Structure 1
């Protein structure tokens, strides 16, 4: 198992700042997206909103991460705020910290993400259970989440 690196977020929407350290003991679904990513807009972000609503009475923590690695000038926090409002996103969303001298943001680098959308499930023990890139089946992702929710607490 691979330990999940901490999230580096420069700003939060729909939430106070969240850390994986503070969430240890709870499964975490981390959804990395860009608002100008067609797959994120059509599939990944709506899927994450559905997961947030479906599992809201469990101890699953859903976190969106706006992970900008291209078109930086267009994807500002002001634009993201409008996007969140227009798409009625209610789950916590952090803005991935800008990379130091690189267009790749900090959390994206830490997780070795290939792009967006990316869905990562972190187990109660803080280890990565699932790291999926691109469009993923609702049924498959739901089954992985349900299995982690049903796993005994460490």
Structure 2
């Protein structure tokens, strides 16, 4: 799923339905990010990571939860762990619990990870830095391409 978002900054919010910090802070913050930043530049994705209370965390319950809390961004469900109760993505990303917010740059590298609460101001600045970095990188690639193709302000030179 994340491979299809290459070129965008990805905000990944790992949560559980029964996690008070997720419901009161993590998911509302992810919703604010989703509403604030352009979808062309920033993708917000939820990750329902179940590592406790498995009987209560059914797909039907998750669907009702997402509807009730008006979560407008896509949410995936983490796969169960293979070596214990920690789900696979949580383990791979070395998450300590929920809520965890992960910022992935436009190249697909994890750049920041916040366990628990992070202020909106800090998060907004980190996202803006990554968006600016992605734009600068794209502009540099376009300039290099134009140089190789012989393009300038007047247009591109046609081959003889």
Please confirm whether the aligned pair reaches a TM-score higher than 0.5, indicating the same fold: yes
Q: Distance in 1 between matches of 2:137 and 2:43?
A: 15
1:40 pairs with 2:22? yes
Q: 2:72 aligns with which of 75, 87, 90?
A: 90
Deviations 1:55-78 (A, max 9, x none): 134411110000111111111111
- The structure with the greater share of residues assigned to helix is 2
Choose between structure 1 and 2 for higher RCO, CA contacts under 8 A separated by at least 6 residues: 1
Aligned partner of 1:153 in structure 2 is 137
Deviations 1:70-90 (A, max 9, x none): 111111111110100100011
Q: Which moved more, 1:125-134 or 1:98-107?
A: 98-107
Q: Which runs of structure 1 show a deviation greater than 3 angstroms over 4 or more consecutive aligned residues?
A: none
SS in 1 for 2:98: coil
Q: CA deviation at 1:101?
A: 4.8
- Tell me how large the CA RMSD over aligned residues is: 1.2
Q: Distance in 2 between matches of 1:135 and 1:76?
A: 26
Q: Distance in 2 between matches of 1:20 and 1:82?
A: 25
Unaligned runs of 5+ in 1: 1-18
SS in 1 for 2:125: helix
1:59 pairs with 2:52? no
Task: Write out aligned runs for 1:55-134 (5 A).
Answer: 55-134=37-116
Deviations 1:5-61 (A, max 9, x none): xxxxxxxxxxxxxx2222222110000000100000000000001100111344111
SS in 2 for 1:91: coil
Q: Distance in 1 between matches of 2:83 and 2:97?
A: 18
Number of residues of Structure 1 aligned to a counterpart in Structure 2: 136
Q: State the TM-score, normalized to the length of structure 1.
A: 0.84
Aligned partner of 1:138 in structure 2 is 120
Deviations 1:78-134 (A, max 9, x none): 111010010001101000011125211110010010000000000011111101100
